[in-house]
Amino acid sequence: MSFTPKPNPDIRVRDYKIGCIGAGMIMAECHLAAYAEAGFPVAAIASRTKSKAEEVAKRWDIPTVHDTPEDLLADSEIEILDIAYPPSLQPALIRAALAQPHIKGILAQKPLALSLEEARALRDEAKAAGKSLSVNQNMRFDQSMQVLKQLLDGGILGEPVFAQIDMHAIPHWQGFLADYDRLTLSNMSVHHLDALRFLFGDPSEVTSLTRTDPRTEFDHMDGIVVTTLRFPSGLMALSLEDVWSGPRQEGYEDDQHIHWRVECTKGVARGTIGWPTGQASTLEFASTDETGGKWQSPGWETMWFPHAFIGVMEQLQYAIHTGSTPALNVADNVRTMALVEAAYQSIEHGRTVRLDLSND
Ligand SMILES: NC(=O)C1=CN([C@@H]2O[C@H](COP(=O)(O)OP(=O)(O)OC[C@H]3O[C@@H](n4cnc5c(N)ncnc54)[C@H](OP(=O)(O)O)[C@@H]3O)[C@@H](O)[C@H]2O)C=CC1
Ligand SMILES: O=C1CO[C@H](CO)[C@@H](O)[C@@H]1O
């Protein structure tokens, strides 16, 4: 077999000093763990509550804690702004960063904004400012997704026929989500829909169904979501976010998981995303040409959380260094946002929505 999997990207650039806004779960547990492991320089942090930023700074050895996010934005040391804040507050932070001459690039969190219109406006404003705006769609850097993409691009599996990502797991819904009118599609399905675009390009049809989740206590419309996509090639894909995934109580042995499967004309790949169980993701594949129909299982020890966050920051550092467009660029992310919007339209109107993402 000549295929050599590369689950983790090389770190080509680690030059630019990072300023972090937010000191919550994802910043403390994933962004900063990844940056420490990769050796990316973090110069400062700020959050809404200074004592929380101080705690996180102590844990990760960050030299400066600013009183407010605005003070951090004004710090001329900062070259990359890294945001992990509620999405309703993110556009204003991005706009403030675009106006700061010392900030060369911005890593925003998903979802980029609460509406497609706002996402489009941010894309256009970043372009006008001549700055790199990147979005943390880190499932693309999950190790199994990276290797799957290599198999597909290498023609080892042939033409894609059917694909699915099925999640039966409980996301931790942040408190601020209770104030928004959109839940699962905007905040969790966005990972899977973005990963499907990464693997297969832009779909031309989307159909979504939803029901409320019995566990989620605040008012919401999209709890459990099932989305089907059709691509111009004829490929059909399924994205399932079952955020209920069964009862939870003392002694109940839950089976939370995310699985995926891709069937092609010359082979099949299948695997898992090792979340929320804190394991490495997996991939197995069989190809009529490459493996004589036998299953192969390349392995690795890194995980989606936190290691995928290394690739995300690296691609932005590299883009700034080379003056190129980040792999996870805002223009591409607007297309993922447009797909999410079309899925909401499908639910609202009870029908399949045709879409042409090349308009964005
Ligand atoms: N790409 C990915 O895989 C993931 C992305 N995310 C995204 O990251 C962002 C942060 O998520 P997460 O860290 O899980 O959230 P947390 O609730 O753990 O942290 C929220 C952060 O935002 C700050 N904040 C400022 N204003 C508010 C407010 N009005 N209400 C609540 N918090 C506020 C908090 O400040 P303080 O505590 O200092 O008061 C805290 O630093 C979200 O956009 C989420 O979608 C989250 C998980 C995974
Ligand atoms: O993006 C996300 C992926 O995983 C998290 C689980 O802690 C989600 O809650 C989150 O918003």
- How does pLDDT run across 160-205, given as a tens digit for each residue? 999 999 999 999 999 999 999 999 999 999 999 999 999 999 999 9
For ligand 2, pick from 187, 225, 309, 312 the residue to mutate: most ligand atoms within 8 Å of CB: 187
- For residue 162, count CB atoms less than 10 angstroms from its CB and return exposed for 0-12, middle for 13-18, buried for 19 or more: middle
Taking the centre of ligand 2 as the mean of its atom positions, its distance from the CA of residue 301, in whole angstroms, is 21
Q: What is the pLDDT of residue 1?
A: 66
Ligand 2 contact via 171 beta carbon (within 6 Å): yes
Q: What is the 3-state secondary structure (H, E, C) of 94-130?
A: HHHHHCCCCCCEEEECCCCCCCHHHHHHHHHHHHHHC
**What are the distances in angstroms from CA 283 to CA 9, 44, 147, 260?**
17, 37, 8, 9
How many other C-beta atoms can be found within 10 angstroms of the C-beta atom of residue 182? 18
Q: Give the model's pLDDT for residue 133.
A: 98
The reported pLDDT for the residue numbered 2 is 83
Contacts of 287 (CB under 8 A, 6+ apart): 151, 156, 157, 158, 266, 267, 293
Per-residue pLDDT of the chain (360 residues; tens, 9 = 90+): 689 999 999 999 999 999 999 999 999 999 999 999 999 999 999 999 999 999 999 999 999 999 999 999 999 999 999 999 999 999 999 999 999 999 999 999 999 999 999 999 999 999 999 999 999 999 999 999 999 999 999 999 999 999 999 999 999 999 999 999 999 999 999 999 999 999 999 999 999 999 999 999 999 999 999 999 999 999 999 999 999 999 999 999 999 999 999 999 999 999 999 999 999 999 999 999 999 999 999 999 999 999 999 999 999 999 999 999 999 999 999 999 999 999 999 999 999 999 999 999
List the domains of the chain with CATH numbers: 18-138+310-328 (3.40.50.720), 139-302+337-359 (3.30.360.10)
Crossing angle of helices 330-349/116-129, nearest 10°?
170
* Ligand 1, CB cutoff 6 Å, lining residues: 22-27, 47-49, 52, 84-87, 89, 109-110, 136, 138, 174-176, 187
Q: Tens of pLDDT along 319-359?
A: 999 999 999 999 999 999 999 999 999 999 999 999 999 99
Please identify, by atom number, the ligand 2 atom nearest to the C-alpha of residue 110: 1
Interface predicted TM-score (ipTM) of this complex, two decimals: 0.98
Asked if 18 and 35 touch (Cβ cutoff 8 Å), the reply is yes
In angstroms, what is the span from residue 60 Cα to ligand 1's centroid?
18
Predicted pLDDT of residue 288: 97
Judge whether 16 and 320 are in contact, CB under 8 Å: yes
pLDDT score recorded for residue 315: 98
Which residues have CB under 8 Å from 349's CB, separation 6+?
A: none
